[in-house]
Amino acid sequence: MHMHPTSEEDSILEGDASLMARQLMTRLQPQRWPIPLDRFPVGTVLVGGAVRDGLLNRLPEHPDLDMVVPADALGQVRKLSQEFGGACVVLDRDRDMARLVLGRWTIDLARQEGDDLTADLLRRDYRINAIALTLTTEPKLLDPSGGIADLRAQRITAINERNLLDDPLRLLRALRLAAELSMTIDEATVEMIARHRHQLPKVAPERIQAELLKLVQANNADQAIGLLNALQVIEPWSSDKPQETLNTSALTTEEQQRALPLARLTQLLSDQGVKDLRFSRKHIQRCMRLRAWWDRDQQQSADSLTEQERLRLHQELEEDLPAFILSWPMERQKEWLKRWRDREDKLFHPSAPLDGRTLQAELGLRPGPRLGKLIHHLCLERAFGRIRNRDDAIQCARAWINNPL
């Protein structure tokens, strides 16, 4: 996802309110939106992450657009869906919230809560998320809680304690926002999170999972994870293992983007925690395998494993090997990474030299466990350099059939 960097030169936070509003509207590029501004009902305002990220100059290419409308949000989304296409998704019928999905764009409409827009904004979680932009010819910013001052101070402050308890996921969201935005959390807000952390299990596990996935992928995740652990926010699901320092300096950016989130998640959550938070089957498998091999590496260095165990390590962690070695000394990391980056390395990227169909045709074998054992044996022999070509593989297979191990 393309994200504009934040820099002092790009800051519009020091301007006066009217100039800031115009500059923000320019950054949002509404002419690119799939719905023209004049198709939204009169009185519609943009709120939430798009306003915050626009002010910080960190908008993705297709920002999620959260709108507050005076009335009948669901009806408006259905009407827009009929006119412009896209899928209409009811988010909350009672609170009149609906989503329009148009290609890579997501537009959420919600009916204003309370007597006026100020009341609506003051029901939100954090000040930096309670800023609204009118979608008028002369746009205006509405900031009743002081969100812009918090953006300037790079601070996350709860609007009030009651709002956090309205949806306890907001307790975790502060830490995710701190990780994504490289901001600090206001001291009084930290105390609120600590005081009410036991409320988090009331939240649907899938929602907690989504916040944690965003957190572990964030640039400033390690600092936020330190606070997360200190406050014991996710204690019901957390791992009881001590956390190793993760050193990523030997990894490329692309390797870090895959390895770090997995390593952080595996350090954070227990095997049962990953299951209870309803992570995907693939995520659960990756975390459990990584943790099992970390534990094994504590007991016996991976370099001294038997050939069978070493092969199994590379089979199970072939794509996630960089995550496995993040706590190792730098020179040892580099040695393993050099081999792992070589896709032709038969140990670090193990595969059998002959498939089952070929073995059946060449040697008259039938499908079954015996064939599977032979394929594994050939994979092992190739991984450790004892099979170099097809003839070697056929010869090795014949020898195994005559004297299976």
Mean pLDDT by 10 residues, the chain (405 residues): 46 90 97 97 97 97 97 97 96 96 98 96 98 97 98 98 98 98 98 98 97 96 96 96 92 97 98 98 98 96 96 98 97 97 98 95 92 96 97 96 81
Report yes or no on 46 lying in a domain.
yes
The total of structural domains in the chain comes to: 4
Nearest-angstrom CA–CA distance, 177 and 156: 8
pLDDT of residue 405: 63
User: Cα dihedral sign for 354, 357, 360, 362?
Assistant: negative
* Strand-strand pairing, 141-142 and 132-134: antiparallel
- Give the contacts of 405 (CB within 8 A, at least 6 positions apart): 377
Q: What CATH number has the domain bearing residue 230?
A: 1.10.110
Task: Identify the residue whose tokens are 């934040």.
Answer: 6
Statement to judge: residues 375 and 265 lie in one domain: no
Domain identity same for 109 and 143: yes
Q: Has this prediction a pTM greater than 0.75?
A: yes
208/66 same-domain check: no
pLDDT the model gives residue 9? 45
Residue 334 domain-assigned (yes or no): no
Contact of 127 with 137, CB cutoff 8 Å: no
Q: Which residues of 306-338 are buried (b: 16+ CB within 10 A; e: fewer)?
A: eeeebbbbbebbeebbbbbbbbbeeeebeebbe
Instruction: Indicate whether 161 belongs to any domain.
Output: no
Q: Which domain holds residue 101?
A: 1-153
Q: Is residue 364 part of a domain?
A: yes
Q: Which of 105, 150, 95 is nearest to 128 (CA)?
A: 150
pLDDT of residue 2: 44
Task: Identify the pLDDT of residue 185.
Answer: 98
Based on the fold, state whether residues 4 and 111 are members of the same structural domain. Answer: yes
Check whether residue 92 and residue 128 sit in a common domain.
Answer: yes
* Structure tokens belonging to residue 63: 């920002």
